[in-house]
């Protein structure tokens, strides 16, 4: 046995030994040149290289694209226009009327996304909170219900979109059911308000479990005897929620709100599969606008798409910084306890 083990050990360690000997000289040299602090940079190098190639470089190239025009894909072949693309995106003769904007589709997508973010996030938070509160009760088959609510989170967004299109389609399951009970069918995805509501509803359905789970974790961290103390004091349930549960849930709640905001700004897959941005431009969101301008339309304009994506990126960076700040604050509070 020991012979086999020893052999296996040698097989595993020998190449590592060679590698160590191979790296020995350059590592020593580097340490002599850069000092011990420099070793940190050495070990971070592989990760930084990947980050640079796949994140930083594309970002820089994207900024460069956003300052050029034309249909050519190869950057040196493109014409430099400075802030021209941004100007085109943002210029309107009358800002109270989106139709007077040079790039009215961008503004429509912006308005749609704004409306979507406000409605979807607030409804999602309320729904996730209620779900978490219900799941937090010691109800029967709790694990089952948790799984039920979390299951949609595991689905690919495209699958979510397809499932709901199958349900909400003119000849879909829902209309078949309506006709079955003697009601008129409804064009759920072909009527502006219904389609927009469907986009909101479906994304909420898809994300609810994830956010409810974060909130549930927060709820379960609230000590039970706080509720018993409130019970001894004869505190009404509503007051318990507003004065005890909600304040103690706030750290989780803030994280949930910011994460939900970020995801709502990025909305694309489910909505695109469900409505394709229609009817008309009723559910055209920013990401879809960028995709269509840059890749899908007949007159591709990569420069304009790049500029729009940089603007959207700005919004996301602000939200991400907010999330990081909140995370740090929670960490500090946690340390204080």
Partner 1 sequence: MGRIQLHDIRKSFGAIDVLKGIDLTIDEGELVVFVGPSGCGKSTLLRMIAGLDKPTFGRIEIDGTDVTARSAADRGLAMVFQSYALYPHMTVRANMAFGLQNTNMPKAEIDTRIGEAARMLEIEPLLERRPGQLSGGQRQRVAIGRAIVRRPTAFLLDEPLSNLDAELRVSMRAELSALHDRLGATMIHVTHDQVEAMTMADRIVVLRAGKVEQVDTPLNLFNRPANLFVAGFIGAPGMNLWAGQAKGVSVQLDSGALLPLPLGVRVPDGPVTLGIRPQHLRPEVGGPIRAEVRLIEALGPESVVHADMGAGGGLLAVLPGQPDLGRGAVIELGYEPQFVHVFGSDGQRLA
Question: Which residues of this protein are in contact with partner 1, per CB under 8 A?
Answer: 223, 225-226, 228-236, 239, 243-244, 247-248, 336-337
- Give min distance, CB of 86 to partner 1, in A: 45
Instruction: Identify whether the C-beta of residue 211 lies closer than 8 Å to the C-beta of residue 125.
Output: yes
Q: Which is nearer to partner 1, 77 or 228 (CB)?
A: 228
Nearest Cα neighbor of 172 from 274, 272, 269, 285 is: 274
3-state secondary structure (DSSP) of residue 183 = coil
- Cβ neighbours around 47 below 10 Å, total: 9
Query: Which of 64, 110, 70 shows the shortest CA–CA distance to 90?
Result: 110
Smaller CB distance to partner 1: residue 158 or 221?
A: 221
We find the least distance from the C-beta atom of residue 236 to partner 1, in angstroms, to be 7
Enter the DSSP assignment of 75.
G
Choice between 161 and 251, CB closer to partner 1: 251
Shortest distance, CB of residue 230 to partner 1, whole angstroms? 8
The pair phi, psi for residue 83, each rounded to 5°, is -90, 15
Q: Which C-beta is closer to partner 1: that of 192 or that of 236?
A: 236
CB of 236 or CB of 328, closer to partner 1: 236
Residue 101: φ, ψ to 5°: -80, 145
The torsion angles phi and psi of 68, rounded to 5 degrees, stand at -125, 170
Cβ density class 282-310: b for 16+ within 10 Å, e for less? bbbbbbbbbbbbbeeeeebbbbbbbbbbb
User: Among residues 28 and 239, whose Cβ is nearest to partner 1?
Assistant: 239
The CB-of-223 to partner 1 minimum distance in angstroms stands at 7
- Torsion region of 141: left, alpha or beta (phi above 0 gives left; psi -120 to 50 gives alpha): left
- Say how far apart CA 79 and CA 4 lie, in whole Å: 67
Nearer to partner 1, 186 or 244 (CB): 244
CB of 219 to partner 1, least distance (A): 15
**Of 91 and 243, which CB lies nearer to partner 1 in the complex structure?**
243
Least gap, CB of 9 to partner 1 (angstroms): 50
Length of the chain counted residue by residue: 337
Beta bridge partners of residue 170, listed in sequence order: none
Quick count: other Cβ atoms within 10 Å of Cβ 174? 15
CB 215, min distance to partner 1, A: 17
Tokens 């904007």 correspond to what residue? 101
- Least separation in angstroms between residue 125's CB and partner 1 is 20
Phi, psi (5° rounding) for residue 234?
70, 35
What the block records as the tokens of 154 is 């595991």
Phi-psi region of 78 (alpha: psi -120 to 50; beta: other; left: phi over 0): beta
Nearer to partner 1, 249 or 308 (CB): 249
Min separation Cβ 129 and partner 1, Å: 18
Residue among 311, 132, 275 nearest 192 (CA): 275
């Amino acid at each position: 046995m020991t012979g086999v083990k020893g052999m296996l050990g040698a097989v595993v360690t020998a190449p590592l030994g060679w590698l160590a000997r191979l790296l020995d000289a350059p590592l020593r040299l580097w340490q002599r040149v850069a000092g011990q602090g420099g070793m940190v940079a050495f070990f971070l190098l592989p990760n930084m290289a990947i980050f640079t190639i796949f994140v930083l470089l594309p970002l820089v190239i994207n900024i460069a694209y956003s300052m050029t025009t034309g249909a050519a894909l190869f950057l040196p072949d493109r014409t430099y226009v400075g802030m021209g693309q941004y100007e085109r995106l943002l210029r309107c003769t009358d800002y109270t009327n989106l139709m007077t904007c040079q790039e009215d589709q961008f503004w429509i997508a912006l308005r749609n996304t704004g409306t979507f973010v406000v409605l979807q996030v607030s409804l999602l938070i309320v729904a996730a909170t209620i779900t978490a509160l219900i799941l937090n009760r010691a109800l029967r088959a709790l694990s089952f219900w948790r799984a039920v609510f979390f299951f949609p989170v595991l689905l690919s967004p495209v699958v979510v979109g397809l499932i709901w299109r199958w349900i909400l389609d003119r000849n879909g399951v829902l209309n078949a059911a309506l006709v079955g009970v003697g009601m008129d069918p409804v064009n759920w995805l072909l009527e502006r308000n219904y389609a927009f509501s469907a986009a909101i509803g479906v994304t909420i359905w898809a994300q609810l479990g994830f956010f409810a789970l974060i909130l549930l974790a927060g709820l379960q961290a609230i000590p039970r005897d706080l509720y018993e103390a409130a019970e001894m004091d004869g505190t009404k349930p509503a007051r318990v929620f507003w004065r005890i549960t909600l304040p103690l849930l706030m750290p989780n709640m803030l994280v949930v709100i910011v994460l939900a905001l970020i995801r709502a700004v990025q909305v694309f897959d489910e909505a695109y599969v469900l409505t394709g941005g229609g009817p008309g431009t009723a559910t055209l969101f920013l990401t879809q606008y960028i995709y269509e301008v840059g890749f899908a339309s007949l007159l591709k304009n990569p420069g304009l798409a790049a500029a729009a994506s940089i603007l959207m990126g700005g919004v996301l960076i602000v939200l991400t910084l907010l999330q990081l700040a909140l995370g740090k604050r929670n960490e500090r509070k946690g340390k204080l306890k």
